[in-house]
Structure formats: C-alpha cells, structure tokens
Amino acid sequence: MSGGMLYGGDEIGALVFDPGHHSLRVGYAQEDTPKAEIPAVVGVASDDVKTEPEIKPEENNVSSTPSSNKYYIDTTFLHLPKPNMELHSYMKDGMIENWDLFEQILDYSYEKIIQSESHFHPVLFSESPWNQRQKREKLTELMFEKYKVPAFFLVKNAALAAFANGRATALVIDSGATHTSAVPVLDGYVITNAVVKSPLGGDLLVLRAREMLESIGVDLTPAALIASKEVIREKEKPKFTKKKFNFQPTNSWMTYMVKRTVQDFQQTVLQVSENPYDEKVAMNIPAVQYEFPTGYHQDFGPERFKLAEGLFDHPMLGAGYIASTSAGMCDVDIRPALYSSVVLTGGNSLVQGFSDRLSRDLSSRTPGSMRLKMIAANGTVERRFGAWVGGSILASIGTFQQMWVSAQEYQECGKAQIDRKCP
Amino acid sequence: MASGVTVSDICKTTYEEIKKDKKHRYVIFFIKDERQIDVEEIGSRDEEYDSFLQKLQAGGAGECRYGLFDFEYMHQCQGTSESSKKQKLFLMSWCPDTAKVKKKMLYSSSFDALKKSLVGVQKYIQATDLSEASQEAVEEKLRSTDRQ
C-alpha cells in the first residue's frame, strides 16, 4: 500500500482508456459512458511532396510534430479527404503495435477530450488477455515517463467485462472488430492458457458484405464524397453529384470510408438466424430496406442471414465452438461455474440475433450435467463499452486506490513493477 | 485482480461460530461504505431457507449481498438402505441483474477477499437471479460433488 494513499480519497478523477481495433474509448472513471470514442486509425499526411493544399487545415485541429508529418485524428478530421493522407491503424492482434501513432492519439485525447494535464490523473488501461509482457512494460514506461501520470494500472478487458456483469468467475465471449475470443475468468484472474480466439469478427462481416454488395453492383461511394443526391425509386440507378476535390483521395482513405459505409449497412441490416442458415426459412422472413449514401435503396432478404451466418457456421472457429473449446481447456472443477455464467460483450455481438444463436449453439455443446446461463447486457452502450464501463467503476472504487502502481513505486522498482501488481 | 476491500474480524468470528459451534443457520454480509465487508444479519438455527432468501434480497432489487448458509439435506449412498443427513456450508454472492453496475462490480471484485478469509466453505455459488439461488438449484449444486 506504499504511497497509494498519498492521492487517496475518492476525488481523484482517474482516467480510463480502453483501446480496441475499432476505436479507443476514453473517459473519466465513475461516469457511465466514455467521453469519446476515437476511431483506431490515424491519418498521416507526409509533406514530402510539397503540394500545399489550398484549404490549409486549421492549426489547432492538427497536432504537429517535429517531423513534417501531419496527423489527423478523430471522425471529423478523418472523414474529410486530404491530399496524401494515408490512414494507418496502430493496433495489431488486439495489441498496440505502432507506438508513434498511439502517442499521437494519447496527445489528442489529453488535449481535446480530457482537456487537462496528464500528471493530475491516474490512468487505468485495459489490455487484451494475450498482451505481451514487453508491450505492457512499454506502455507503463510511456505513461510514467512521457505523461508523468501519478499512478497507473493495467487490467485484462475480459476481467473488466465479467465484473461489470456481476461475475468474478465467467466465460467471457468478446466479439470485436477483428476477432472473437473466449476468455475464462476465474475470481477476476484470466486463465491465459485457455484463451481461444478466432479471426471471425466484425471486419469479416464487413468484407463479406462488401463483396456481396459489389457483386450486385451497388455503388459504395461514401457520404463524405457526395454533394447532393436525388430521391429515386427502389433499385433505380442512383442520381447524385460528387463533391469536387482537386486531388485524388488516397487509396487507404477510400478503403476506410467504404468500410465505414458497409459497416453501417452491416449494423442495420444483418441478422443471425436462430437456427443454422436455411434458405427456405430465410426467404419467409420480411426483408429490410436500406438506403446507401448514393440514394440507391433496395430490400435485402435472405442475404441478411447468409452473410451473418459466417460468424457461426465455421466448424472450428464459430463462436459456439471456441466457447466450448475454451471451457474444455479449463479444469473440470470450474467448468460448471464457467458454463453457468457466459458473459457476452463486444460491439460485434450487437448483430441482431447474435446472443440467441450463441446460446443455442452453446447449449448443444454444454455437458448434460451443467447448466448454461448467458449474461448479455441489454443496452448498446453496456455491450460496446463493456470493458470501459467495468474499468470506470473499478477505478472509482475507494479501496481500489491502494492497488495502483504509483509513480513512486515506478521510480523505485522500474517498469517490471507492472507485472507484479497487475496480473 | 481484486478491489482492495477488506474483511472485518466480525465476519471471521461469526463464521467460526457457524462452522464450529453451529450457533446460527445463516449470515448475510454486505460491504460497508465501499471499504469493508461486514455482517448485516444473522439467522438463528431454526430459520428456513426461504427467510434466508428474503433477507438476502431485503435491500431491494438494486442491491447486492453475500450470504453464507449451513445447508442440510438427506443423502443416500448407492448400495445402502439408509440415508444420512449431510451438512454443507455454501457461500453465495447475490448480484441481481437489476443492480447497478457499480454495485455488481464492487461485490463481484471483492468476493475473492471474502472467499479467502472464510476457510472451509464447501461450495461457492454466484447467483444473479432466483433460478440460481432457489433451494432446489442450491441443493443440486451441493449434491453434484457427492458420491452416488
């Protein structure tokens, strides 16, 4: 408990960061939702080719660095095409990969969202269950050395999600943008060697949906490029005018924007059928209409189910399969406890019908002697920001203050202290 | 990963009273001021399971609690003609779905501390609704570790 009480009390205004592949969630502890959700991509415009743009971006929107690169962060700046702006993601496999870009994001968060000095606020970070030691230490070093935080803590996001749903022991199914993982949590500790993950996540759905839409000839021009459009009848050729730019938007920007367009389509239209996909059944379910940014609109029937089926029909990587594999890798004694509290979290689990289908798939795999219970928060916010909400509460609990790794401890013991205090 | 909540000495002494001396039937614990786990209610030896459930939920739908119960049931071993009475202690964390996230979080992250200080409990049960906390569900869980 050394030094922990120096900044004790409840009024400490801790910050919670929850990095993911889709976005980084930032906000103050004790609040119900994050202050901001920043897309996990950074636009980098190098000034190597000196083509000064006419519309010079306002200086205060851009965090400039000693190198001549300009960085564009957050939805507002990303969605406007700029010459030579390439988009990069700083995440890989659920871990932070590109530290330079990540620092830019942190700078931006402190400056624009928190709007306060970093050395006043203890910071709680969430991490993926398979985060590497070297990366944890690097993050600790970064937070203490560069941002001078008074205290720091790292928690596995699965543990946070389990806590937020009232469980200390649970099997957490986290379906995010790039992967779906099954993580057993025992008394708040992640059983790391029984974590199972599959690459079937939201991005896969987006990819498949995009292929499908392109194959039926839908124009996926993103909204940011459209100046005006006319109302047309269903399945008619869209009539719209494009915005005029005197440069060509970069490929990575186009890819990202098209992805966002398809993502919206995926979130509103797709649905997982309760039973394994059957064309005949799917035909009988009412179709859903969707209008694309170009104004083109049509009904989507069986495709809705066929696309979403990809998350479940794989014999080895389907969500139900990885959940039962993960439970199977744990000790026999705790398996009943895991099956009786399956916690569902992650933005991709919000695809309609996801939880029903998962509980159906899992119940057929649950051993007869065990009871299956699935816990899925109803609200969109609780599901998408499950880990953040958990972190927000944990950091605000009075007695948690003694758990932090304080700056003093860091000075005395170095970055390895994180491995001792944060399992 | 724990919340840092501590367990008061009264919890331990009350636990010893129930385990060794069989003085009470059940104990309800709660977290006082988000800092310490304390005893809220003690049930006398002749009280039934239903009153335990009632006391567990006395705080309303938005509250979480821990409960310790000395459960008795008849068990018949295979190949024997007579059944014997069994006594088992179980510790339950009660976090209803309707409770606030903060409460759930506080109680679930502190459950480990309570588990560690009450040594000798046979079964730990996490309950979020009555289907998991009912007498039948609990008995089924306790019996699952018995020999047939």
A58 falls in which pLDDT band (50, 70, 90)? very low
**CA–CA gap between residue A146 and residue A101 (Å, rounded):** 14
The average pLDDT across A62-73 equals 66
Tokens coding A154? 């790292």
Q: Which of A32-36, A251-255, B7-11, B142-146 is the least confident region?
A: B142-146
State pTM to two decimals. 0.85
pLDDT of residue B132: 87
Of the candidates A295, A298, A292, which has an alpha carbon nearest to the alpha carbon of residue A230? Answer: A295
Residues from chain A contacting residue B101 (CB–CB below 8 Å): 164, 382, 389-390, 393
| A369 close contact with B: CB closer than 8 A | yes
Q: Can you give the pLDDT at residue A12?
A: 63
- A253 contacts: CB under 8 Å, gap ≥ 6: A43, A81, A85, A86, A87
pLDDT higher than threshold 70 for residue B41: yes
Question: Could you tell me if A344 lies within 8 Å of chain B, comparing CB atoms?
Answer: no
- pLDDT for B28 equals 95
Q: Does A166 touch chain B (CB under 8 A)?
A: yes
Average pLDDT value for residue range A311-323: 89
The reported pLDDT for the residue numbered A65 is: 43
CATH architecture, domain A166-200+317-376: 2-Layer Sandwich (3.30)
Question: What distance in Å separates residue B112's CA from the closest CA in chain A?
Answer: 6
Residue B21 corresponds to which amino acid? D
Cross-chain CB nearest to A400 (options B4, B112, B141):
B4
Span A15-27, average pLDDT: 94
- Residue range B124-135, pLDDT digits in tens: 999 888 888 999
Supply the CATH classification number for the domain A1-40+113-161+387-423: 3.30.420.40
Q: Where in chain A is the domain with CATH 3.30.420.40?
A: 1-40+113-161+387-423, 166-200+317-376
A-chain residues near B143 (CB < 8 A) = none
Q: Do A399 and B64 touch (CB under 8 A)?
A: no
From B105, B112, B128, residue closest to A187, measured CB to CB: B112
pLDDT over 90, % of chain A: 60
Q: Do A399 and B6 touch (CB under 8 A)?
A: yes
Q: What is the three-class DSSP state of A51? A: coil
Give contacts of B111 with chain A, Cβ < 8 Å: 168, 187
- Chain A CB contacts of B136 under 8 Å are none
Residue A66 has pLDDT above 60, yes or no: no
**B1 and A340 in contact by Cβ < 8 A?**
no
For A375-404, how does the pLDDT look when each residue is reduced to its tens digit (9 = 90+)? 888 888 888 898 999 999 888 887 888 889
User: Count of CB contacts below 8 A, A vs B?
Assistant: 93
The predicted pLDDT at position B148 comes to 63
> Is the predicted pLDDT of residue B55 greater than 70, yes or no?
yes
Dihedral (Cα; A64, A27, A17, B33), 10-degree rounding: 150
Specify the higher pLDDT residue, B3 or A89.
A89
Overall average pLDDT of the A124-141 stretch: 94
For domain A202-311, the CATH superfamily is ATPase, substrate binding domain, subdomain 4 (3.90.640.10)
Q: What is the mean pLDDT of chain A?
A: 88
Residue A167, min C-alpha distance to chain B (Å):
5
B-chain residues near A29 (CB < 8 A): none
Most A CBs within 10 Å: which of B108, B117, B131, B143, as the mutation test of the A interface? B108
Residue A55 has pLDDT above 50, yes or no: no
**Average pLDDT score over residue span A100-109:** 94
Judged against a pLDDT cut of 50, whether residue A44 lies above it is answered with yes
Interface test with chain B among A10, A155, A393, by most B beta carbons within 10 Å:
A393
Residue A70: per-residue pLDDT: 87
Q: Tell me whether residue A144 is exposed, middle or buried, using C-beta atoms within 10 angstroms of its C-beta: 0 to 12, 13 to 18, 19 or more.
A: buried
Residue B2 and residue A188: Cβ atoms within 8 Å? yes
**Which among B1, B101, B115 is the nearest to A393, CB-wise?**
B101
Give whole-number Cα distances, A305 to A118, A286, A308, A355, in Å: 47, 12, 5, 14
Task: Give the gap in angstroms from C-alpha A398 to the nearest C-alpha of chain B.
Answer: 7
Residue type, A196: V
Looking at residue A3, what is its pLDDT?
A: 40
CB contact under 8 A, B35 and A399: yes
Among the partner-chain residues B4, B5, B105, the one whose CB lies closest to the CB of A164 is: B105
Q: Tell me the mean pLDDT in the region B41-55.
A: 92
Structure confidence at residue B1 (pLDDT): 64
Closest residue on chain A to B131 (Cα): A373
Check whether A51 has a pLDDT greater than 80: no
- CB-based contact (8 Å) between A157 and chain B? no
Q: How do residues B72-93 score in pLDDT, each as one tens digit?
A: 998 887 777 888 888 999 999 9
Distances (CA, A) of A76 to A62, A79, A81, A232, B79: 12, 6, 11, 29, 75
Taking the CA of residue A165 and the nearest CA in chain B, the distance in Å comes to 7
pLDDT of residue A129: 94
Residue A57 has pLDDT above 80, yes or no: no
Q: Where in chain A is the domain with CATH 3.90.640.10?
A: 202-311
**Whether A188 contacts chain B with CB within 8 A:** yes
Alpha-helical regions (H) of A36-123: 75-78, 99-108
Residue A48 has pLDDT above 80, yes or no: no
Find, in chain B, the residue whose alpha carbon is nearest to that of A420.
B1
Please tell me the predicted confidence (pLDDT) of residue A97.
Answer: 94
Kind and range of the H or E element at A326?
helix A319-328
CA distances from A349 to A219, A302, B48, B89 (A): 28, 20, 42, 38
Give the range among A145-149, A180-184, A191-195, A241-245 with minimum mean pLDDT: A241-245
Residue A362 pLDDT grade (very low, low, confident, very high; cuts 50, 70, 90): very high
Residue type, B101: V
As beta bridge partners, residue B125 has B92
